[in-house]
Amino acid sequence: MNEMGLVVTGAGGRMGRALVRTIAETPSATLIGALEQSGNPELGRDAGEVAGIRDVGVEITDDPLRPFSKADGVLDFSTPAASVFFSELAAQSRIVHVIGTTGFSASDDAAIVAASRHSVTIKSANMSLGVNLLESIVAQVAAVLGDEFDIEILEMHHRNKVDSPSGTALTLGKAAARGRGVSFEDHADFGRGTANRDHGPRRDGDIGLVSMRGGSVICDHTIVFAGPSERIEFTHRADDRKIFAQGAVRAALWGRNRKPGLYSISDVLELNGRDRH
């Protein structure tokens, strides 16, 4: 099989540069397009040079139409609005769309679901193997422990991250709710991070989510199961964006020649079904 031709969105950013480097290290993939927003200072430069490796003969552009017409897939860690736009282009081009963007609204998700009827769409809040294993573990532990164990999810990211709580924290919270057989929306508690002194005591069965932002932290998540006389904690820390880039490239290669539909990185890693019966 020929190398898979991939487009990287946000190629001038930290995640985009990591994706370009990972593609260059992957024998079965090749970079055929690199995108950035209009006005970005990296426009016109070679994507490899921007990523800190050799020139790869692909200039960063703000026009997605030509790269999409030649591509087999697109790796997209951008913004919700941009990802929805790219999902429409991917559907028109019938190519694989790997989405690592977070912060989507319900209408954004609906648009991506509609586009996935015509393209292989792999959408996950976190592309790392460790986090997806953690999601499976959290669901299993929540299923075993009773309501006397309170669940708290703490996440920390770099100071420039826009959405809060992180998509990964929400995914872990939903896994905990799934394990307990309850609705996440009915049991999620986001309120204790606000200046609300009348919030009251913790409600039984709630899943608390706490967000922290600062410095250059890439991605830290801790899930605490706090019981009457004991506490169980699971922590995942990302030290390099390379783990997300590797997961995204792996997902794109997995999605090649599959039927259109909406998939997750758990499908790629064959984790689905272990706690989602």
The answer to whether 75 and 8 have CB atoms below 8 angstroms apart is yes
Tokens of 61: 């552009």
Active site residues: 157, 161
Tokens of 173: 């919270």
Tell me the C-alpha distance between 54 and 61, whole Å. 18
Residue 201: is the preceding peptide bond cis (ω within 30°)?
Answer: no
Residue 185, classed as helix, strand or coil, is helix
How far CA 140 is from CA of 25, 58, 88, 185, 266, in Å, comes to 35, 45, 36, 19, 15
Q: Residue 247: which of 262, 268, 227, 275 has the closest Cα?
A: 268
Tell me the C-alpha distance between 273 and 78, whole Å. 29
